[in-house]
């Protein structure tokens, strides 16, 4: 028997994430959206792996991320795992440093440079990602400008950590970057401590995370009120007052997908696999 | 956008195979067995890829297969994709020769050597595979002996092609090896010509293959009568006289899984992806 590499575990985490069901509002083993289906996530995970593998040679986090995104889009549905890869890229680097801990990952993201930030902006050339408008005065840094924004980044000497800091209050993935990956590692502990098949445990933890904080992707895609409604209904499912399957069906119907919460679970599953949990 | 490597397409074929549903009797997106679940196939596919990747360096087919199997077993359920990998290994080699055709694959398998046969026997050290008793007088070549049988193979100067030839009448994968991979390439054409999501097309072709010939894994696992019953019921589904989902539920309940037919579909999906069908 051989042992999975760090990049293989990252890829498998992406596959397990989309398998866990029910994950209300997201594509999972039992739910597709019209134009975003289960197989797109599989192709996204398979495609992203060579990019993630570059971390083994000490490639910088931004470049690993940008290459992973370039591989992810080898399917027709566009963005499948952008946020998950933005979490996995520093987690994979920390694992290579033999420091897959909140402190170890914090060290990785604080060490990012302006070059990493430029890679991040380049990654928006590969795929459309739902983002909000930048605050007034920060239009030159709008990620939707892609590579065109790089001179503005360089002029301001912004690292990728700096970029994440600026959107940490509106983006759950960025919040992890600047908050020691607290929710990711916390979720991993809960998956590790759970019982039963790993995808089922992940689905439970997804629901718990969703009930704890409004999903920032839902805020961007719809609005805060919608995100808070989803949060309350997730709690109702945990309290036994609503069926998870019903909530899942409703959200899929309404096109609401709590993608950021899914991203957190993907990161947590990677940590889980690196901790040696067997499937 | 980058382009998937040959090994990535082989891995993705394994993932798409297990996704297509309903594939009566097998694990699929909507069906698990008690001890053999969807996530085991995902880990099997992710684990097998580095072995398959060795074909890029011209590694021999037997060794590619043996390494893929060694990677496949990085999960607790044992044999998930042994037969599929036995088909994929020569198909991957043919793809590297830029000759992914029946003739090109036939050339690959006819060129296998005694060393490939020894690799094949070694692969049984990694995992328990359901096989029948060898014919009288051929006990020294029983695959269940694993590496212990290699001296007997060497003494008789049997290539891997020779080994496959000896079980072609009782094993659907071996029959492909010595029959120009006719069913694999035929199934690929049907998937390519189909409509709708690729996993759905693959599930339809699975049912067609199942209705055409008794599944040899069912013959080994149960008996020929059972395999013929499954064959008839698959035809009934195609004729609209039975629900695929009902057949699926029954077979899963009875622990009957037409695994060889699934292996053929995995091979066909690989060919489909190499032909450029987009997900």
Sort out which chain A residues have CB atoms less than 8 A from B19's CB and list them.
38-39, 42
Residue A252: per-residue pLDDT: 82
CA dihedral (A219, A222, A224, A227) positive or negative: negative
* A contact test, residue of B42, B47, B77 with most A CBs within 10 A: B42
Scan for tokens 């696992």, then name that residue.
B221
pLDDT at residue B138, as a whole number: 83
Provide, as residue numbers in chain A, all residues whose Cβ is less than 8 Å from the Cβ of B75.
278-279
Comparing alpha-carbon positions, the chain B residue that sits nearest to A126 is B1
Chain B CB within 8 Å of residue A40 CB:
yes
- Residue B1 pLDDT: 56
Check: CB of residue B184 under 8 Å from CB of residue B87.
yes
Q: How far is B262 from chain A (nearest CA, A)?
A: 17
Cβ distance A43 to B11 less than 8 Å, yes or no, reads no
Asked if the Cβ–Cβ distance from B198 to A70 is below 8 Å, we say: no
The per-residue pLDDT for A265 is 98
- Residue B277 forms contact with A (CB below 8 Å): no
B14 contacts on A by Cβ (under 8 Å): none
A6-274 domain in CATH 1.10.4200.10?
A: yes
Specify the pLDDT at position A1: 56
Note every long-range contact of B162-170, with CB atoms under 8 Å and residues 24 or more positions apart, other chains counting: B162/B117, B163/B117, B163/B120, B164/B109, B166/B138, B166/B141, B170/B132, B170/B216, B170/B219, B170/B220
DSSP 3-state assignment of B61? helix
Between CA B125 and CA B143 the distance in angstroms is 10
Distance CA A223, CA A200 (A): 29
B19 CB within 8 Å of a chain A CB: yes
Cβ count near B245 (within 10 Å):
14
Residue B147 touches chain A, beta carbons under 8 Å: no
Rounded Cα distance between B269 and B180, Å, is 17
Say whether B46 and A197 touch across the interface (CB within 8 A). Answer: no
- Number of CB pairs, chain A paired with chain B, less than 8 A apart: 93
Q: Closest CB to A76: pick one of B49, B71, B279.
A: B279
pLDDT tens sequence across B62-110: 999 999 999 999 999 999 999 999 999 999 999 999 999 999 999 999 9
Structure tokens at A170: 């509106």
Which residue ranges in chain B fall short of pLDDT 50? none
| Residue tagged 């007088």 (tokens) | B137
Q: What residue segments make up the domains of chain B, in order of their start?
A: 6-274
What pLDDT tens digit does each residue of chain A (279 aa) get? 579 999 999 999 999 999 999 889 999 998 888 889 999 999 999 999 999 999 999 999 999 999 999 999 999 999 999 999 999 999 999 999 999 999 999 999 999 999 999 999 999 999 988 888 887 888 899 999 999 999 999 999 999 999 999 999 999 999 999 999 999 999 999 999 999 999 999 999 999 999 999 999 999 989 999 999 999 999 999 999 999 988 988 898 888 989 999 999 999 999 999 999 999
* Inter-chain touch A38–B199, beta carbons under 8 Å: yes
Residues in chain B: 279
């Amino acid at each position: 028997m051989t042992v999975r590499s760090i990049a293989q575990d990252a890829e498998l985490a992406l596959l397990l994430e989309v398998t866990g069901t029910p994950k209300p509002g997201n594509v999972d083993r039992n739910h597709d959206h019209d134009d975003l289906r289960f197989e797109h996530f599989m192709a996204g995970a398979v495609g992203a792996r060579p990019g993630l593998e570059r971390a083994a040679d000490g490639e910088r986090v931004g470049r690993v991320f940008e290459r992973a995104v370039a591989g992810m889009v080898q399917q027709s549905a566009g963005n499948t795992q952008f946020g998950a890869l933005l979490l996995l890229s520093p987690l994979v680097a920390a694992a290579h440093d033999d420091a897959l801990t909140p402190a170890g990952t914090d060290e990785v993201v604080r060490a990012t440079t302006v070059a990493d930030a430029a890679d991040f902006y380049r990654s928006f050339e590969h795929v459309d990602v739902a983002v909000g408008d930048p605050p007034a005065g920060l239009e030159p840094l709008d990620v939707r400008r892609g590579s065109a924004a790089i001179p503005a980044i360089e002029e301001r000497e912004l690292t990728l950590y700096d970029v994440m800091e600026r959107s940490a209050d509106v983006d759950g993935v960025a919040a992890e970057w600047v908050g020691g990956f607290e929710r990711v590692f916390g979720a991993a502990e809960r998956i590790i401590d759970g019982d039963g098949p790993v995808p089922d445990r992940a689905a439970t933890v997804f629901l718990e995370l969703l009930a704890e904080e409004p999903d920032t992707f839902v805020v961007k895609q719809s609005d805060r009120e919608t995100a808070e409604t989803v949060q309350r209904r997730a709690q109702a499912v945990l309290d036994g007052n609503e069926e998870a399957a019903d909530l899942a069906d409703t959200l899929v119907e309404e096109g609401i997908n709590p993608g950021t919460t899914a991203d957190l679970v993907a990161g947590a599953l990677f940590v889980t696999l690196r901790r040696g949990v067997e499937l």
